[in-house]
Structure 1
Amino acid sequence: MEGRPRALFLGMQGSFSLPSLHALLESGIEVCAVVLPGDQGLSSNQMPIYRREPAHPARSTLPVLNSSLDSSIVQLAWQRKIPLWQVHRLSDPVTVSTLTAYQPDVISVACFSQRIPRAILEIAPLGCLNVHPSLLPANRGPLPLFWTFRLGCKQTGVTIHFMDEGMDSGDILAQQAIPVTDGMSYAQLELESARIGGNLLCHTIWKLYEGSAISLPQDENKSSYHGFPGDEDFVVPVAEWDAAHVYNFICGVAEWSGPVTLNVGNEHITVQKAISYSRNNMCDIPSKNYCWRGEALWIRCKRGWVAVIQPITFQ
């Protein structure tokens, strides 16, 4: 096909969506509109979709330094003069007709909090593509990065797949693995996944547009799904986990979500920061499950010891 592909972009104001929108624009793909999710619980007399226009602040006589106009997909859309819509009911005929009018070749999704109905999935002739931060079919669901840390995965990745009416179950178009290194934070892994995902998305769209893309169905026998984590998912049975697993889970999720509770014998120790782990014995008293060494509390795990620092709460 001649020319360049037109993409309708669905995303959110978090850090995962922005790199994909940036990548689309930098790769020469025409983004015809950007769509944000709104409140799905609105009353029936409110518009299912509406256009968001930029505010017009008072003119300043001072120069603007280090402008952050593109610090979210909202600012980036306004900066590039791309129509920006907020949608409350995706399946409403008004929403469908509004988005259909842009005549996109492809729909691109990078983190969107609403299920996308068939009426939207069928708008674009090349299909609807999702950027999912796991190596599908493993870790389907809304927060795969959390489960990467919870399950102690040494590797994750990004998948570009066709969207269908299932949950992350469409055919796979592209994947790239990402190592999960010791001490990696949620923010670091999310940023790396978003960066790689944006580049992979653009490459895939161009291949689809040129007719050279190949897709493969997911192996349902290898699939796994995880929902939103509950309180119990922030509790760690240290006697069942290796020290490296405990360390990486605390580093991965504590700053993102709040404290993690370690079940140590009959005690519950709430921590926010881990600084190290060791496979060596860190306590001179064999019967002790934890001991202090300087400012660090060393806790016995299934194999090895993990070191945490204040704030620490004993229950």
Structure 2
Amino acid sequence: MILRYYKMQSTMSNSFEQGTAPRVLFFGMQGTFSALALSALLEAGIDVRGVVIPGGAIPGRATPAITRYENPLPARTMLPLAHTSLHTNIVQIATKQHLPLWKVSRLNDPTTHAILADYEPDLVCVACFSRLIPARILDLPRLGCLNVHPSLLPANRGPEPLFWTFREHQHETGITIHLMDRGMDSGPIVLQERIEIPDGMSYELLETRCAERGGALLAQAAWQLYRDEAQIAEQDEALSSYHSFPAYEDLGIPVDQWDAREVYNFISGVGHWESPLHIEAPDSELETLEVRNCYSYSLEPLEDKRRVIDEGGPLVVRCKQGWVRVV
């Protein structure tokens, strides 16, 4: 069912002035996902008033709730690859665009609230932020807070949706722009778009595609809310699912239960996770086998009935159906 978000009805009486842009505070981190979203807002003419990044406590020192972050651009160099990461770093983007940059360690602190409130934001836009945003910050902007989530909500809520997209052998995912509420990724949906996942796609490539489309949709949603043109849909809780951070057992690959294509796509997707994946082969001498790469797969049967075949190169592993070559 399509619904108008309740906050819009009470705030849009103060209509925007012709020729102005929505005032936004951007919350993100130093990575590709946040950087592409921030760049998209700026390219769409959004008035980004400030950028907020999470900060941590320093052992043995009193840490202020919020501090202005100064990061002057480094001197240029003739090395061609030295600055290739500039476009993936919101600190560098904020510095180049002369945007106020704040490092926050305590979002609930009155000082934090007072400093952010001074920007009088119409919206807070969030794209990959490692802290739970408290109610007093959610209530700060007059039009609400928008979040970019890389799944087709209400499915796959939680902090690592792309990992679970690969873990559950999904061949498509999507990007959702939703208004934030007190729950985890449970607020009303503003915009949503599907993204296909071909065989062999890596986590990094899927994240980049989600970030590119998510940034474009985030800017579109911000303008729609500002102009009172958005169509908002409540999430259907009956269709919702949630996953936490992956545990050790979630990195296991039960090759006797998965076919070769499923094994290939999971390793291709998250083979370079912080902790190594491990093939569970209880009917072989190895029992478990750490893997990082999967070179190829076939759904054709193997004449050799061994679970793991070592011929001096990449290992051949027999699956529920077919086989894969791994290292």
Q: Give the alignment's TM-score, normalised by structure 2.
A: 0.88
| 1:281 aligned to which of 271, 286, 301 | 301
Q: Secondary structure at the match of 1:9?
A: strand
Question: Is the contact between residue 239 and residue 301 of structure 1 (CA under 8 Å) also seen in structure 2?
Answer: yes
Question: Is the contact between residue 16 and residue 111 of structure 1 (CA under 8 Å) also seen in structure 2?
Answer: yes
1:63, 1:302 → 2: CA distance? 53
Q: Secondary structure at the match of 2:272?
A: helix
Structure 1 residues 43, 10: CA separation in 2 closer, same or farther (over 3 Å shift)? farther
Read off the aligned partner of 2:32 and give its amino acid letter. Answer: S
Question: Is the contact between residue 32 and residue 82 of structure 1 (CA under 8 Å) also seen in structure 2?
Answer: yes
Read off the aligned partner of 2:299 and give its amino acid letter. Answer: R
Structure 1 residues 28, 263: CA separation in 2 closer, same or farther (over 3 Å shift)? same
Structure 1 residues 232, 41: CA separation in 2 closer, same or farther (over 3 Å shift)? farther
Of 249-258 and 118-127, deviating more is: 249-258
- Counterpart of 2:103 in structure 1 is 86
Question: Is the contact between residue 42 and residue 88 of structure 1 (CA under 8 Å) also seen in structure 2?
Answer: no
Question: Is the contact between residue 243 and residue 279 of structure 1 (CA under 8 Å) also seen in structure 2?
Answer: yes
Deviation per residue, 1:127-161 (Å, 9 max, x gap): 10000001111110001011111111111111000
Question: Is the contact between residue 132 and residue 158 of structure 1 (CA under 8 Å) also seen in structure 2?
Answer: yes
| 1:214 aligned to which of 221, 231, 234 | 231
Instruction: Report the CA distance between 1:261 and its aligned residue.
Output: 0.7
1:257, 1:94 → 2: CA distance? 36
Matches within 5 A, 1:115-194: 115-194=132-211
Question: Is the contact between residue 73 and residue 95 of structure 2 (CA under 8 Å) also seen in structure 1?
Answer: no
Does 1:21 find its partner at 2:43?
Answer: no
Question: Is the contact between residue 242 and residue 301 of structure 1 (CA under 8 Å) also seen in structure 2?
Answer: yes
Q: Secondary structure at the match of 2:238?
A: helix
Question: Is the contact between residue 259 and residue 299 of structure 2 (CA under 8 Å) also seen in structure 1?
Answer: no
2:140, 2:133 → 1: CA distance? 11
| 1:270 aligned to which of 254, 274, 290 | 290
Read off the aligned partner of 2:319 and give its amino acid letter. Answer: C
Does 1:308 find its partner at 2:326?
Answer: yes
Read off the aligned partner of 1:227 and give its amino acid letter. Answer: S
Instruction: Report the CA distance between 1:169 and its aligned residue.
Output: 0.4
1:65, 1:144 → 2: CA distance? 34
Question: Is the contact between residue 110 and residue 130 of structure 1 (CA under 8 Å) also seen in structure 2?
Answer: yes
Aligned residues: 305
Instruction: Report the CA distance between 1:46 and its aligned residue.
Output: 2.8
Does 1:114 find its partner at 2:131?
Answer: yes
Q: Secondary structure at the match of 2:279?
A: strand
Structure 1 residues 134, 56: CA separation in 2 closer, same or farther (over 3 Å shift)? closer
1:41, 1:89 → 2: CA distance? 13
Does 1:200 find its partner at 2:220?
Answer: no
Deviation per residue, 1:227-265 (Å, 9 max, x gap): 111111111111111211111111111123342111123
- Counterpart of 1:296 in structure 2 is 314
Read off the aligned partner of 1:277 and give its amino acid letter. Answer: Y
Question: Is the contact between residue 186 and residue 256 of structure 1 (CA under 8 Å) also seen in structure 2?
Answer: no
1:247, 1:189 → 2: CA distance? 16
Q: Secondary structure at the match of 2:273?
A: helix
Of 294-303 and 167-176, deviating more is: 294-303
1:63, 1:291 → 2: CA distance? 49
1:306, 1:64 → 2: CA distance? 40
- Structure 1 unaligned regions, length at least 5: 310-315
Instruction: Report the CA distance between 1:40 and its aligned residue.
Output: 5.7
Q: Secondary structure at the match of 1:103?
A: coil
Q: Secondary structure at the match of 2:292?
A: strand
Deviation per residue, 1:259-302 (Å, 9 max, x gap): 211112332121111011111013x23x3223246733221212
2:275, 2:106 → 1: CA distance? 32
Read off the aligned partner of 2:268 and give its amino acid letter. Answer: C
- Structure 2 unaligned regions, length at least 5: 1-15
